[in-house]
Structure 1
């Protein structure tokens, strides 16, 4: 079984670019461009075009294996401004808003703290 959050967005292209910057790759795309699959190592993100109440629905969290400072630098270089890394009980986290203003959380776990 794979986890596949569905992210509804008014701008599928901008949303796809945002998640490519985070490290996902673009997979299958619908011919009219209404949805994109973005496979990941432990699941997949599906981005679907929407309007009205569904836009922005879904908050996401990803576990990252690289230093959060590296992720933050890459986001800034692409024009996205992340918040500061936060010291958490399980490691560190970083939050950033996607193009629709929805918060995405990136977690770097310290397994000695987490387990």
Structure 2
């Protein structure tokens, strides 16, 4: 599993430029430009159009989401059902503090 924080911004282009200057690399961009991935040595920062300043913790996995969901349920955490998204599939689950965490399986052919 890879860590992928999602940074929301009203100006995806400006925030992308800032993090590129900081040292992150250019990665896949969605066709409409509302989503950008910026790879780094320790993971990927996703920049997404939305409420400026909001940040969400997400993970990218190659594991079947049904297997991740089963493991979470066995440990007493109740994830939502995997959802078909424009980028692949996603499931959401609350951590012990009640904060939503997103686990994604990406199909980059869908959005780049």
User: Which TM-score applies when normalising by structure 1?
Assistant: 0.50
Q: Extract structure 1 runs of 4+ deviating beyond 2 A.
A: none
Q: Residue 110 of structure 1 corresponds to which residue in structure 2?
A: 107
Separation (CA, whole Å) in 2 of partners of 1:108 and 1:100: 24
**What is the number of equivalent residue pairs in this alignment?**
65
Unaligned runs of 5+ in 2: 6-40, 44-54
Unaligned runs of 5+ in 1: 6-40, 44-57
Separation (CA, whole Å) in 1 of partners of 2:4 and 2:111: 24
Instruction: Summarize deviations over 1:45-102 as a string: whole Å, max 9, x none.
Output: xxxxxxxxxxxxx631111111100100000011000001010000000000000000
RMSD: 2.6
- Of Structure 1 and Structure 2, the greater strand share is in 2
User: CA separation of 1:64/1:80 partners in 2, compared to 1, >3 Å: closer, same or farther?
Assistant: same
Q: Residue 75 of structure 1 corresponds to which residue in structure 2?
A: 72
User: Which TM-score applies when normalising by structure 2?
Assistant: 0.51
